[in-house]
């Protein structure tokens, strides 16, 4: 490609970037990103509305509920999907997990939980393994968290007789 043709191409790109919208109106980056976000959310909502709730969707919803409960400091809501025979790291039982969650909530006024990409492996129609990274933040200040750590979580889920999914075991380890 010759230098004059490159210069022409650069001029055209500059003109397009200066006024990408027809009618002379240019959207800000924030508005453009917001428009894409709203559009993608609508597409996801429409696509998810077209199917009945699958086991994988139910597990994802349970995980989202636990995350929301952590952030809103609802210990009972966090513990609701945990089965009575739960086993965690180093033999931690359900009562010890509840004490851990309660202690963290008492120590920190704000708790944040962000789940990364979720991988669901259906073992059969009543058992599943859910693996995901989890970023936990905590602190007592208004704007910035004082502590943050990312964990890799592998959890085993079992559907009970009522059709509810319950966590019956989990292992978590810090991601470095």
pLDDT in tens, 135-154: 988 887 766 667 888 999 99
In this model, does residue 167 exceed pLDDT 90? yes
| Residue-level pLDDT at 147 | 81
- Burial label for 141, CB within 10 Å (0-12, 13-18, 19+), is exposed
pLDDT for 5: 66
Task: Give the other-Cβ count within 10 Å of 111's Cβ.
Answer: 18
Which pLDDT band holds residue 43 (cuts at 50, 70, 90)? Answer: very low
Phi, then psi, of 110 in degrees rounded to 5: -120, 135
SS3 38: helix
- Residue 14 pLDDT: 57
Domains of the chain and any CATH numbers: 3-49 (no CATH), 55-174 (3.10.450.50)
Residue listed under structure tokens 């704000």: 110
Residue with tokens 């120590």: 107
């Amino acid at each position: 490609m010759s230098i004059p043709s490159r210069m022409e191409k650069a001029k055209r790109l500059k003109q397009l970037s200066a006024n990408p919208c027809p009618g002379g109106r240019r959207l800000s980056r924030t508005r453009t990103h917001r428009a894409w976000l709203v559009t993608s959310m609508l597409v996801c909502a429409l696509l998810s509305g077209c199917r009945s709730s699958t086991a994988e969707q139910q597990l994802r919803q349970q995980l989202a509920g636990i995350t929301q409960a952590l952030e809103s400091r609802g210990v009972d809501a966090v513990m609701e999907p945990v089965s009575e025979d739960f086993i965690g790291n180093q033999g931690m039982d359900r009562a010890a997990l509840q004490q851990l969650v309660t202690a963290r909530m008492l120590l920190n006024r704000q708790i944040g939980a962000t789940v990364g990409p979720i991988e669901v492996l259906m073992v059969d129609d009543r058992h599943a393994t859910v693996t995901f990274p989890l970023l936990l933040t905590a602190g007592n200040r208004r704007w910035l968290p004082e502590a943050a750590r990312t964990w890799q979580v592998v959890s085993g889920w079992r559907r009970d007789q009522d059709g509810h999914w319950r966590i019956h075991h989990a292992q978590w380890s810090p991601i470095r």
